A and B are shown apart, each in its own frame.
Chain A
Amino acid sequence: MWVSRRAAAGLLLLALLFSLVLLGPLVSPSGWDETDFAAFHEGPSARHWLGTTQSGRDVFALTLRGARTSLLVGLFVAVASTGLAAVIGAAAGYAGGRVDRVLMWGADLLLVLPSFLVAAVLAPRLPGGLPVLMAVLAALMWMVTARAVRAMTVSLRRREHVLAARFLGVGAPRVVARHVLPHLASLLAVDASLNVGVAIVAEGGLSYLGFGVRPPDVSLGTLIAEGQGTAAAHPWPFAFAAGLLVLAVLAVNLLGDGLRDAFDPARGGR
């Protein structure tokens, strides 16, 4: 398939980020979990490429460790929540009637509950860990998109090519997969790419509450939160973490934009 230049740029940037995150620790002189009691709050040096934190940890290794966690969380949560939204929204919109009412009632219920509070209340009761955190985040992020998907499905359902497929005797799941969802691909691609940033930031907030990533392990969110206070005097911890976050979000947004164009054959070829 022909992929647009933007999508290629996004993909390349994402690949570079991943290789940095995976290969960086191999060449770094210090490990992420080591503490150097001889250096607190120091600037870049040969031993600590990007300096150290106030507790003497290596900023370069620590941030790469955090970025690895955040990239995993961001990508997984974005794909999972958008996928959930697509399935639930399309099912509700296409089936209509009771299925529609029950699914949208559930979505509205989750929407009115403040998701951050729900996660905070659940936090002490659930066994921690990254997989649970990702599942909770995904479960709290799909509702708005599901409503949009449902609305578009309802209008697509009345399109003649969908009617044509139904009258040809094509089954409902196949009609949804082949004639409804491809038309939502651009919406879903953009939604998923935006969700990556949202998930990374939300994960940081939740980790701050002690839910999910726990010290001494780190994520970009916790690093940014910690670095924020001292950013004026010691910019390295904050700037590197924030820069990686910006690059990650930029990469997935480029990819999402590029995919949106590629999914539309009438506009492709530019």
Chain B
Amino acid sequence: MSVLRVTDLTVRYAPGVRAVQGAGLTVAAGEVLGVVGESGSGKTALALAVMGLLPDDARVTGSVRLRGRELLGRSDAELSRVRGKDLAMVFQDPLSALTPVHTVGDQIAETVRIHARVSRAAARARAVALLDLVGIPGAQRRARAYPHELSGGMRQRVMIAMAIANDPAVVIADEPTAALDATVQAQVLDVLRVAKEATGAAIVLITHDPGVVAGFSDRVMVMHAGRSVESGPVEELLRRPGTPYTNELLRASSPARESPVPPSRPERPAVLDVDGLVRHHALYKGPLRLRQAGSVRAVDGIGFRIREGETLALVGESGSGKTTTLMEILRLSRPQGGRVALFGRDTATLRASDRKALRRDVQVVFQDPFSSLNPRMRVADILAEPLTAHGMPTSRARARVEALVELVGLEPAHARRYPHALSGGQRQRVGIARALALEPRLLLLDEPVAALDVIARAEVLGLLERLRERLGMACLLVTHDIGVVRRLADQVAVMYAGRLVEIGPADGVCGDPAHPYTRALLDAVPLADPCLEQRRPRVFLRGDPPDPASPPAGCRFRSRCPRYAMLTAAEGVLCEEDDPESRPVRPGEGAGHSVACHHPLAEGESAP
């Protein structure tokens, strides 16, 4: 018995642009339908059309039936009685979907009171019960918190609580985990599952990542260019895709390394040497913000080394200090504490002219290609900027720009465009070309593919891989995505709350992690294979990273550590009192794999 049936839905924007072309879907009560597709495939337009939230200039035809009643063609006021009650939505970005000036408890209570005649107190009690249901610890207290006081994962839980507040028949979740870390993504998907079981609602889960769908949904629909390409039970479809497009999507989501891991060559000279790097942000309190009340320990004494031609990946959840580390290196000046040396030169001793000369050799690719390119400059001007800034004459710069455009696989015609006329993947190629313009010896990559969807991600990763091989530069890669690490990195450094908890060769750290946090990061990556995904044992991390202004005493990972939870009181004392130091995993072996944990996982114990 289907609760939501969409047939032959077409969404048209004013000048003949069709976002959705004759798509259809059905979901039964308690069923989860995954809708997968890259950006621009029309999946969000489909969701908004079902909700009746499309802008006024969009024309929708077809049929959307909720429990047999037609929704299309109803007025906004009529739909408002359905939305939030029988039909609820969870948006991608919970920070912009929640009102910043009301407490989350009030916002949930409001949803309840709009659709049901209950007293204020009853609505509030219901809000607390819902927050409890979605696993927010201390729900009574957290109901009085404002959205900015909660972490991203907590906010998304609030959104889910709000969606199920009136026991809806259907919940539409549009990329509910795209803005979250992999560790938190697993938690939120779990909450969505709990919510489904508590309400018996059907869930339409929209995502670009087949891995998210594999572990969670019963049936899958693949969308491409506004059409539903294929649909079927999740196992059948993901194991034996029926169309080449689905096949491509699946292959792109599980990136396999194309080039073999080069053996480490310790005799090569170091390009970047970081030792005991510290960056604290002072926190001020009081009415005039004059009293210093502690400091945020963004980076708290980390050290690593990158040799010529080598790629080191800095991995960790958001807020662990990865990007701060990158920015500290890029500043090319004396750090607050510790030492940064580039090509053997200490940055604390550089003069302004040295610094400018050194910028040629150290370049960066930013995470978001939408904000890292000046929207008012054409691609050719963006690429020429570093060249002219370092004194290359215009005529030679023009030839170099043409070469760069070709190097990153763009068409010559793209050089005349503005960034807004390019797709996300193309923009990121421009960002990479700009970073390569001066032929740097060290390339810093800050989440280079995090803002791209699956297929563009696979293409850009392939490009980075080829370029690195061809140009032989060293890379520092900052990412939270283990898939990217597996594909690009030779060395891996895992960061948690401003510290390195594990560092070593990529195959060692990913294949045989010694730190429980690394293990949890690896487990959090969803697989696109439903059988493997549902069968494998997983270690979930509970909660959020600690407040960097007051990390717990002893081991900082203690509050979330699954291993610490299983230790006896006598064993645990060490974790509570002693900050673990980094030491080799296998003493005597010179592989350089070391871990900062009192009770590291033994070899083989962590194998999946």
Seen from chain A, the residues whose Cβ lies within 8 Å of a Cβ on chain B are 159-161, 163-165, 167-171, 174, 178-179, 182-183, 263-266
Contacts and interface: CB of A to CB of B under 8 A. Distances in A.
Interface stretch (B166-174, B374-382, B543-551): B374-382
B418 interface: yes
A168 B386 contact: yes
A263 B377 CA distance: 11
Nearest to A181: B376
Main secondary structure of the interface of A (DSSP, over half): helix
Interface string B356-391: 100110111011100111111100000001100110
A265 B375 contact: yes
B420 A161 contact: no
Which of A161, A178, A263 has the most B CB atoms < 10 Å from its CB? A161
Contacts of A170: 385-386, 389
Interface in B385-419: 385-386, 389-390, 418
A170 B392 CA distance: 13
B376 A168 contact: no
Contact of A167 (B330, B371, B375, B390): B330
A167 B360 contact: no
Given A161-B373, A179-B374, A168 B385 contact: yes
Contacts of A169: 356, 359-360, 386, 389-390
A161 B372 contact: yes
Contacts of A266: 375, 418, 420
Which 6 interchain pairs have the tightest Cβ spacing? A169-B359, A160-B372, A168-B386, A170-B389, A161-B374, A266-B420
Which of B364, B377, B389, B420 has the most A CB atoms < 10 Å from its CB? B389
Interface of B: 330, 356, 359-360, 362-364, 366-368, 371-377, 385-386, 389-390, 418, 420, 431, 434, 438
A47 B562 CA distance: 100
B372 A168 contact: no
A165 B385 contact: yes
Contact of A168 (B363, B368, B373): B363
A164 B389 contact: no
A213 B376 CA distance: 42
Nearest to A263: B376
A263 B359 CA distance: 31
Given A167-B363, A168-B359, A183-B376, 20 more contacts: A161-B371, A161-B372, A161-B374, A161-B375, A164-B431, A165-B374, A167-B330, A167-B359, A167-B364, A168-B386, A168-B389, A169-B359, A169-B389, A170-B385, A178-B374, A178-B385, A179-B374, A182-B376, A265-B420, A266-B375
Contact of B389 (A163, A174, A263, A265): A174
B54 to A, nearest CB: 21
Given A169-B356, A169-B389, A265-B375, A164 B434 contact: yes
Contact of B371 (A160, A178, A263, A265): A160
Nearest to B330: A167
Contacts of B367: 160
B272 to A, nearest CB: 15
Contacts of A179: 374
Contacts of A171: 389
Given A178-B377, A265-B420, A266-B418, A164 B372 contact: yes
A265 B160 CA distance: 39
B418 A265 contact: yes
B376 A265 contact: yes
26 contacts: A160-B366, A160-B371, A161-B371, A161-B372, A161-B375, A163-B366, A163-B372, A164-B364, A164-B372, A164-B373, A164-B434, A167-B359, A167-B364, A168-B438, A169-B360, A169-B386, A169-B389, A170-B385, A171-B389, A178-B377, A178-B385, A263-B376, A264-B376, A265-B418, A266-B418, A266-B420
Nearest to B365: A164
Contacts of B372: 160-161, 163-164
B561 to A, nearest CB: 35
Contacts of A264: 376
Nearest to B377: A178
Contacts of A159: 371
Contacts of B390: 169
Contacts of B374: 161, 165, 178-179, 182
Nearest to B367: A160
Contacts of B360: 169
A182 B364 CA distance: 23
Nearest to A179: B374
Which of A159, A169, A170, A264 has the most B CB atoms < 10 Å from its CB? A169
A265 B422 CA distance: 13
Contacts of B359: 167-169
A265 B364 CA distance: 26
Contact of B366 (A164, A178, A182, A265): A164
Nearest to B437: A168
Contacts of A183: 376
Nearest to A180: B374
A266 B364 CA distance: 26
A164 B327 CA distance: 11
A161 B435 CA distance: 12
Nearest to A268: B418
